[in-house]
A and B are shown apart, each in its own frame.
Chain A
Amino acid sequence: MTSIGATVKEPGSSKHNKTGSWRTFKPILDKEKCIDCENCFLFCPEGCINKEYDIDYDYCKGCGICAEECPVKAIKMERE
Chain B
Amino acid sequence: MLRVISANRALAEAVKLARPKVVPVYPITPQTTISEYLASFVADGELKAEYIMVESEHSAISAALGASGTGVRVFTATSSQGLALMHEILFAAAGLRAPIVMGNANRALSAPLSIWNDQQDSISERDSGWMQFFAENAQEALDFILQAYRISEDQDVLLPSMVCVDGFILTHTVEPVDIPTQEDVDKFLPPYQPTHSYLDPEHPMSIGTFTDPNYYMDARYDMEIAMEGAVDVIRKVNKEFEEVFGRKYDLVEKYECEDAEIILVAMGSICGTIKAVIDDLREKGEKIGLLKVISFRPFPREDIYNAVKNANRIAVLDKNISMGIGGVLFNEIKAKMDVDASGFILGLGGRDVPPEDIIRIIERTRNPTDTQKINWIGIKEEE
Candidates B97, B203, B216, B218; contact of A5 at CB < 8 Å: B97
Contact of A6 among B98, B204, B219 (CB under 8 A): B219
Chain B residues bordering chain A, tally (CB within 8 A) = 21
Known: A9-B205, A11-B204. A4 touches B218 (CB 8 A): no
Q: Is the CB of B97 within 8 A of A8?
A: no
- The binding surface of chain A is classed by DSSP as loop
Please report the total number of A residues contacting B with Cβ < 8 Å: 11
Q: Could you tell me if B197 and A5 are in contact, using CB atoms closer than 8 angstroms? A: yes
A2 to B216, CA, bound (A): 8
Q: Given the complex of chains A and B, what is the CA–CA distance between A3 and B218 in angstroms?
A: 9
Question: Would B218 and A2 count as touching, CB distance under 8 A?
Answer: yes
Residues on B with beta carbons closer than 8 Å to the beta carbon of A11: 204
**CB <8 Å contact, A7 and B207:** yes
B356 at the interface (CB under 8 A from A): no
| Interface pair A5/B204, CB less than 8 Å apart | no
Against B, the Cβ 8 Å flags (1 = close, 0 = not) of A26-45 are: 00000000000000000000
Contact of B96 among A1, A2, A5 (CB under 8 A): A5
Could you say which residues of chain B place their CB within 8 Å of the CB of A7?
Answer: 96, 196-197, 205-207, 209
Question: Which B residues are closer than 8 A to A by beta carbons?
Answer: 95-98, 158, 196-197, 203-207, 209, 211-212, 214-216, 218-219, 222
Closest 10 CB pairs between A and B? A5-B97, A8-B206, A5-B197, A4-B196, A2-B218, A9-B205, A6-B219, A5-B96, A2-B219, A7-B205
Knowing that A2-B215, A4-B222, A5-B196 are A-B contacts, what are 15 other residue pairs whose CB atoms are under 8 Å apart, sorted by A's residue number? A2-B218, A2-B219, A2-B222, A4-B197, A5-B96, A5-B158, A5-B207, A6-B216, A6-B219, A7-B96, A7-B206, A8-B205, A9-B203, A9-B205, A11-B204
Pull 20 A–B residue pairs with CB atoms less than 8 Å apart, ordered by A: A1-B218, A2-B211, A2-B218, A2-B219, A2-B222, A5-B95, A5-B96, A5-B97, A5-B197, A5-B207, A5-B219, A6-B96, A6-B209, A6-B215, A6-B216, A6-B219, A7-B196, A7-B209, A17-B212, A17-B214
